[in-house]
């Protein structure tokens, strides 16, 4: 049945994904709707608008934030965050990409889905866009204390600070600078998120005009996924779309003007270290991403050159003495209208630019002349098939992943079904590859004979951050000195008005909601079957779409501090070295040919009742197409039993690569690292996590790199000995497969695996004495990350549920407003960590430091004083916690979670009992646990701060550490 206001254009079944793509158009406005019909009950909504800014003021990004701050039907100050806590959503967010802005959500509850749909549609098409919300989310001038004119005037704003934090990452700066030159005239030339310097140029009227122009149904892209029929969606869409007339303008990105000769440029970024810190990247502008044939050809070539260490170009970039390793930008970027291929190195010197160019071009010529093996070609095609076959959903909902993979086609008026249905295009590519001239011609056309090429040298400058800071301070000083009395009064009045607006209690009864009555009685958790006592195999049968997942789980032995320090390097190295008598290049090729990847990791989780009693395992994990069972299990066994540690040069490359990635990830996970620092004095397990996965692990990896350069044989011997110690242990196997393939998976594993029982091992946590700590790490960031923790209880303790709910109450009721809205941080909150038995406060990309720590304290004072609003806050907090517990993963991911949960004492019965305890939490419970556990005398602090904040931190009694 088709809604009368919509025209059904066509439908296309995609069997490999289990969906039917239905295309509709709204008759009056031309709004497009693609419905991905599926049997999944996790329904997804995605509303996108083509937004293609031609400056770096961040107008699209700030509009994305501001549009969700109230609307005509829902004139409350913050309906987005209010709905997060009145909902059972499994995903809820908003995105700003380079050429589109989107508002997606997902829910398994139909009532909840329609509630959210109503709020999102009204926010998109009837947004209030209050000037005060623009000031809060975008930028403003405001006194440090808004109602105190004696305090200094500052630049403030959520997006302003968010982008300061985002652009602290060298990788982000590198990509943005490179894009500026590769795309000299179109929207990708600019920073769609906003450059902090340019954000200050955006005016409120600019935002209004951008909204009126772009947030129109004719420019809208509706996409939905799930088992709700399209006609039911159309009933809701039409209520809004029918108010509009068709828009005459069509928004599109023009093709970039092409260079007639390669361009070489040099720019700088801030770094205190200058030696071996230069990045050299080369990139070519390719064809359009919405052309599926062109996209697959580009992916094919990129994978042949860069997929893994057996790929010709990646091998050269990994082994060259010109730098320490491949650039983080290496690969194909296919999200823009016109794709680009990028390669390069990091850890180099400025004068090596021409050497890098020569290396890359010589390698391309060599591949063009000599070709690649049939195995390499088949491995690349195999990986393309894997990407089509695998059902995701462990990060984003599966339906949202499908939508995101096809949104480029919608944005550029092409067919998203084509980008989803890869099988016919892969078959077509196979036929092309049979022509021996195909690869040489492809290299010529896309790279060697493509003059639109940019080589960027991005070198460190120890003074540039200081100059930028001085320029910002001077800009502020110039503005403030030129203010008239009337303008100063206006700044003061706006600050007071915004403060009052942030504190006002809105009538949230106008917002739709679900209640605890809408929550299901229990969580459905998959169960496994023991299939083989001798091999200790547990099988989970679930919908994997022709994929099989295998894990070998072994108890972790007692380790010395030195051995534990080597574990991260060993886990990374095991799957990157040679095995079964082959070198690492042949092994990487073999992995790509028969599997979807293999990894190793350690897992140390406490007992549900005692933080000092842990179950410790290490895991070898892989996945493959079910047709490859035999070869896959042989590869897993060879990786487990016959890794060759003799190639010290390769191990050094791996260590350097991991070090680089860990250093680059600091500003993206700063709040997690800050909580890791703060908790490090509370228990032996927390201290281990801090030392071996926190900031000290970066220092440790630097030490490994140094030792590998000076005394490689000793490190190699230590790794080999640790590997032997780990593998001499009892084994158990987890197999996840679909019903059609599961019997064969178990049979092939039994036939392939040479079973060894190993020795009984006994892992023990090191001795530890708890202590309160105040530690500040100086990191390369323009914003701060703050954390405060209190020791509490494990998950079995009766109070753990109330503490978990308390975290949501504090976040929803106080911390969101004080830290994000008033303080200007990108985010902040509180949570109970049952695994570490601590309660955590945190902030993310935060312009403040001491003020945020004070807000953590004020949150508890606020909570003690609350009476009228707490019953509602309690229900909302419980809903939020249950929603996070019930959030679905991929079928394979849920099976893995169930298995490892049981392994660590968290059986399905235990998990549902804990869920019931959350549902039963009372106001008396949360008040009691707040008083009992959150005493200032027991608090510890951890912060990541910029160098400018170090002196202030030291005065507050923090121990200063340098990254």
Hey, do 529-752 and 774-962 end up sharing a CATH topology, with the first three levels equal? yes
Q: What are the C-alpha distances in Å from 893 to residues 44, 337, 542, 553, 625?
A: 19, 33, 10, 16, 16
| Alpha carbon distance 709, 713 (integer Å) | 10
Is 506 in a helix, a strand, or coil?
A: coil
β-strand 774-778 against 959-962: which pairing, if any? Answer: parallel
CA 512 to chain centre: 30
| Dihedral over alpha carbons 923, 924, 929, 930 (to 10 degrees) | 60
Over the stretch 374-405, which tens digit does the pLDDT of each residue have? 999 999 999 988 888 888 877 789 999 999 99
Residue in the structure block whose two tokens are 């040298």: 457
Over the stretch 821-861, which tens digit does the pLDDT of each residue have? 999 999 999 999 999 999 999 999 999 999 999 999 999 99
Mean pLDDT within 299-321:
95
Residue 50 has pLDDT above 80, yes or no: yes
Q: Is domain 6-250+484-499 in CATH 3.30.830.10, yes or no? A: yes
| Alpha carbon distance 402, 40 (integer Å) | 13
DSSP structure class, residue 218 = G
Rg (CA), the chain: 28
Residue 546 has pLDDT above 70, yes or no: yes
Q: What are the C-alpha distances in Å from 235 to residues 133, 229, 230, 238, 620?
A: 31, 10, 9, 6, 49
Q: Mark out the alpha helices in 289-391 (DSSP H runs).
A: 292-306, 312-319, 353-370, 374-389
DSSP string, 724-740: HHHHSS--EEEEEE-HH
DSSP string, 846-868: BS-SHHHHHHHHHHHHHHHH--S
Over the stretch 58-105, which tens digit does the pLDDT of each residue have? 999 999 999 999 999 999 988 998 998 889 999 999 999 999 999 999
Among 36-40, 286-290, 351-355, 393-397, name the one with the lowest average pLDDT.
393-397
pTM for the model: 0.93
Over the stretch 185-216, which tens digit does the pLDDT of each residue have? 999 999 999 999 999 999 999 999 999 999 99
Hey, what CATH topology would domain 263-461 get? Cytochrome Bc1 Complex; Chain A, domain 1 (3.30.830)
Per-residue pLDDT at 708: 94
Q: pLDDT band at 748, cuts 50/70/90?
A: very high
Among 14-18, 680-684, 723-727, 919-923, name the one with the lowest average pLDDT.
14-18
Residue 925 has pLDDT above 90, yes or no: yes
β-strand 140-143 against 153-156: which pairing, if any? Answer: antiparallel
Q: pLDDT band at 16, cuts 50/70/90?
A: confident
Among 632, 793, 661, 654, residue whose Cα is nearest residue 719 = 654
| Alpha carbon distance 716, 654 (integer Å) | 13
Among 59-63, 520-524, 811-815, name the one with the lowest average pLDDT.
520-524
List the chain domain ranges.
6-250+484-499, 263-461, 529-752, 774-962
| Alpha carbon distance 35, 229 (integer Å) | 8
β-strand 43-50 against 32-37: which pairing, if any? Answer: unpaired
Residue 15 has pLDDT above 70, yes or no: yes
DSSP H or E segment with residue 572: helix 561-574
Class of domain 529-752: alpha beta
| Alpha carbon distance 38, 43 (integer Å) | 9
Per-residue pLDDT at 760: 66
Mean pLDDT within 230-243:
96
Angle between helices 891-903 and 908-919 (to 10 degrees): 90
DSSP H or E segment with residue 13: strand 6-14
Mean pLDDT within 424-447:
94
Angle between helices 670-679 and 695-710 (to 10 degrees): 90
| Alpha carbon distance 213, 607 (integer Å) | 57
CA 784 to chain centre: 19
- Residue 844's contacts (CB-CB under 8 Å, 6 or more residues apart) are 165, 670, 671, 785, 825, 826, 827, 828
| Alpha carbon distance 192, 958 (integer Å) | 37
Per-residue pLDDT at 137: 96
β-strand 598-606 against 529-532: which pairing, if any? Answer: unpaired
Among 536, 615, 533, 571, residue whose Cα is nearest residue 901 = 615
Per-residue pLDDT at 453: 98
Which of 393-407, 545-559, 748-762 holds the top average pLDDT?
545-559
| Alpha carbon distance 627, 116 (integer Å) | 42
Confirm if 41 and 226 have CB atoms less than 8 A apart.
yes
Per-residue pLDDT at 396: 84
How many helices (H) does the chain have, and how many strands (E)?
Answer: 35, 28
Over the stretch 859-869, which tens digit does the pLDDT of each residue have? 999 998 887 67
| End-to-end C-alpha distance for the chain, whole angstroms | 62
Q: Is 370 exposed, middle or buried (0-12, 13-18, 19+ CB in 10 A)?
A: exposed
Per-residue pLDDT at 575: 96
Class of domain 774-962: alpha beta
DSSP structure class, residue 608 = S
Confirm if 139 and 155 have CB atoms less than 8 A apart.
yes
| Alpha carbon distance 308, 577 (integer Å) | 12
DSSP H or E segment with residue 240: helix 230-241
Residue in the structure block whose two tokens are 């005493």: 935
DSSP string, 65-128: HHHTS-BSS--SS-HHHHHHTT---SEE--EE-SSEEEEEEEES-HHHHHHHHHHHHHHHHSB-
Q: pLDDT band at 506, cuts 50/70/90?
A: confident
Among 1, 191, 202, residue whose Cα is nearest residue 96 = 191
Backbone angles phi and psi of 529, in degrees to 5: -125, 130
DSSP H or E segment with residue 617: strand 614-625
Mean pLDDT within 444-450:
98
Per-residue pLDDT at 865: 87
Over the stretch 583-639, which tens digit does the pLDDT of each residue have? 999 999 999 999 999 999 999 999 888 888 899 999 999 999 999 999 999 999 999
| Alpha carbon distance 190, 26 (integer Å) | 32
| Alpha carbon distance 202, 159 (integer Å) | 12
Per-residue pLDDT at 756: 66
DSSP structure class, residue 257 = P
| Alpha carbon distance 566, 704 (integer Å) | 8
Mean pLDDT within 284-289:
96
Q: pLDDT band at 332, cuts 50/70/90?
A: very high
């Amino acid at each position: 049945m088709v809604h009368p206001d919509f025209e059904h254009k066509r439908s296309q079944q995609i069997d490999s994904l289990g969906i039917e793509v239905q295309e509709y158009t709204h008759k009056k406005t031309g709004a497009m709707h693609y419905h991905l019909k599926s049997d999944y009950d996790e329904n997804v909504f995605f509303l996108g608008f083509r937004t293609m800014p031609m400056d770096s003021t961040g107008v699209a990004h700030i509009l994305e934030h501001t549009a969700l701050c109230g609307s005509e039907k829902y004139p409350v100050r913050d309906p987005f965050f209010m709905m997060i806590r009145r909902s059972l959503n499994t995903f809820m967010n908003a995105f700003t990409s380079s050429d589109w802005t989107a508002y997606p959500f997902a829910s398994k509850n139909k009532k909840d889905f329609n509630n959210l749909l109503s709020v999102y549609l009204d926010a998109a098409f009837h947004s209030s866009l209050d000037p005060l919300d623009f000031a809060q989310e975008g930028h403003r001038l405001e006194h440090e204390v808004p109602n105190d004119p004696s305090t200094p005037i500052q630049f403030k704003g959520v997006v302003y600070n968010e982008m300061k934090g985002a652009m602290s990452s060298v990788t982000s700066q590198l990509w943005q600078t490179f894009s500026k030159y590769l795309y000299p005239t179109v929207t990708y030339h600019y920073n769609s998120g906003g450059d902090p310097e340019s954000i200050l140029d955006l005016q409120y009227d600019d935002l209004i005009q951008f909204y009126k122009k772009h947030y129109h149904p004719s420019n809208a892209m509706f996409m939905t996924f799930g088992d709700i029929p399209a006609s039911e969606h159309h009933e809701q869409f039409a209520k809004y779309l029918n108010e509009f007339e068709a828009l005459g303008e069509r928004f599109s990105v023009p093709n970039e003007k092409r260079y007639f000769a390669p361009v070489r440029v040099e720019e700088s970024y801030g770094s205190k270290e200058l030696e071996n810190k230069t990045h050299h990247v080369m990139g070519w502008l390719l064809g359009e991403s919405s052309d599926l044939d062109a996209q697959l050809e580009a992916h094919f070539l990129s994978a042949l050159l860069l997929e893994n260490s057996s790929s010709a170009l990646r091998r050269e970039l990994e082994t060259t003495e010109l730098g320490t390793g491949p650039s983080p930008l290496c690969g194909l970027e296919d999200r823009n209208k016109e794709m680009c291929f990028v390669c390069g190195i990091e850890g180099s010197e400025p004068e090596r630019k021409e050497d890098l160019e020569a290396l890359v071009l010589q390698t391309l010529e060599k591949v063009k002349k000599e070709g690649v093996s049939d195995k390499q070609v088949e491995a690349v095609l195999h990986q393309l098939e894997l990407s089509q076959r695998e059902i995701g959903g462990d990060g984003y909902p599966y339906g949202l992943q499908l939508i995101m993979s096809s949104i480029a086609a919608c944005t550029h008026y092409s067919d998203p079904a084509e980008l989803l249905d890869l099988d016919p295009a892969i078959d077509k590519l196979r036929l092309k590859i049979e022509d021996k001239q195909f690869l040489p011609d492809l290299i010529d056309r896309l790279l060697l004979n493509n003059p639109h090429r940019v080589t960027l040298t991005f070198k460190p400058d120890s003074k540039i951050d200081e100059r930028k800071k001085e320029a910002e301070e001077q800009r502020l000083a110039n503005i403030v000195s030129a203010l008239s009395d009337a303008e100063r009064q206006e700044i003061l009045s706006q600050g007071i008005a915004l403060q009052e607006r942030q504190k006002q209690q809105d009538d949230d009864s106008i917002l739709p909601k679900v209640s605890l009555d809408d929550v299901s009685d229990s969580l459905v958790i998959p169960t496994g079957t023991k299939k083989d006592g001798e091999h200790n195999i547990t099988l989970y049968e679930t919908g994997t779409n022709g994929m099989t997942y295998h894990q070998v789980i072994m108890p972790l032995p007692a380790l010395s501090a030195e051995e534990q320090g080597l574990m991260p390097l060993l886990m990374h190295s095991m799957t990157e070295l040679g095995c079964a008598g082959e070198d690492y290049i042949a092994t990487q090729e073999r992995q790509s040919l028969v599997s979807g990847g293999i990894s190793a990791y350690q897992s140390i989780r406490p007992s549900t009742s005692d933080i000092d009693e842990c179950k410790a395992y290490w895991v070898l994990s892989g996945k493959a197409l079910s047709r490859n069972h035999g070869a896959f299990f042989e590869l897993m066994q060879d990786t487990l039993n016959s890794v060759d540690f003799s190639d010290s040069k390769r191990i050094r490359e791996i260590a350097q690569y991991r070090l680089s990635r860990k250093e680059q990830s600091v500003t993206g996970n700063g709040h997690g690292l800050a909580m890791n620092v703060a908790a490090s004095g509370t228990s032996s397990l927390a201290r281990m996590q801090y030392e071996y996965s926190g900031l000290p692990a970066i220092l440790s990896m630097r030490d490994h790199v140094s030792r590998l350069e000076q005394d490689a044989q000793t490190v190699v011997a230590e790794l080999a000995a640790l590997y032997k110690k780990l593998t001499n242990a009892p084994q158990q196997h987890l197999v996840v497969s679909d019903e059609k393939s599961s019997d064969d998976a178990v049979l092939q594993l039994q036939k392939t695996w040479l079973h060894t029982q190993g020795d009984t091992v006994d892992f023990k946590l090191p001795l530890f004495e708890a202590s309160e700590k105040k530690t500040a790490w100086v990191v390369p960031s323009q914003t701060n990350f703050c954390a405060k923790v209190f020791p509490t209880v494990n998950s079995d303790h009766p109070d753990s549920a109330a503490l978990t709910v308390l975290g949501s109450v504090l976040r929803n009721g106080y911390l969101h407003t004080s830290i994000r809205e008033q303080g200007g941080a990108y985010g902040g909150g509180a949570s109970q960590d049952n695994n570490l038995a601590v309660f955590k406060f945190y902030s993310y990309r935060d312009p403040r430091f001491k003020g945020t720590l004070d807000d953590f304290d004020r949150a508890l004072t606020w909570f003690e004083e609350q009476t009228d609003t707490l019953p509602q806050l309690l229900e909302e907090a419980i809903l939020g916690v249950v929603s996070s517990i019930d959030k679905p993963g991929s079928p394979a991911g849920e099976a893995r979670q169930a298995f490892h949960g049981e392994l660590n004492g968290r059986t399905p019965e235990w998990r549902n009992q804990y869920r019931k305890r959350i549902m039963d939490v009372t106001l008396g419970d949360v008040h009691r646990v707040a008083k009992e556990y959150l005493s200032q005398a027991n608090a510890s602090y951890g912060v990541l701060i910029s160098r400018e904040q170090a002196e202030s931190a030291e005065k507050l009694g923090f121990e200063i550490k340098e990254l």
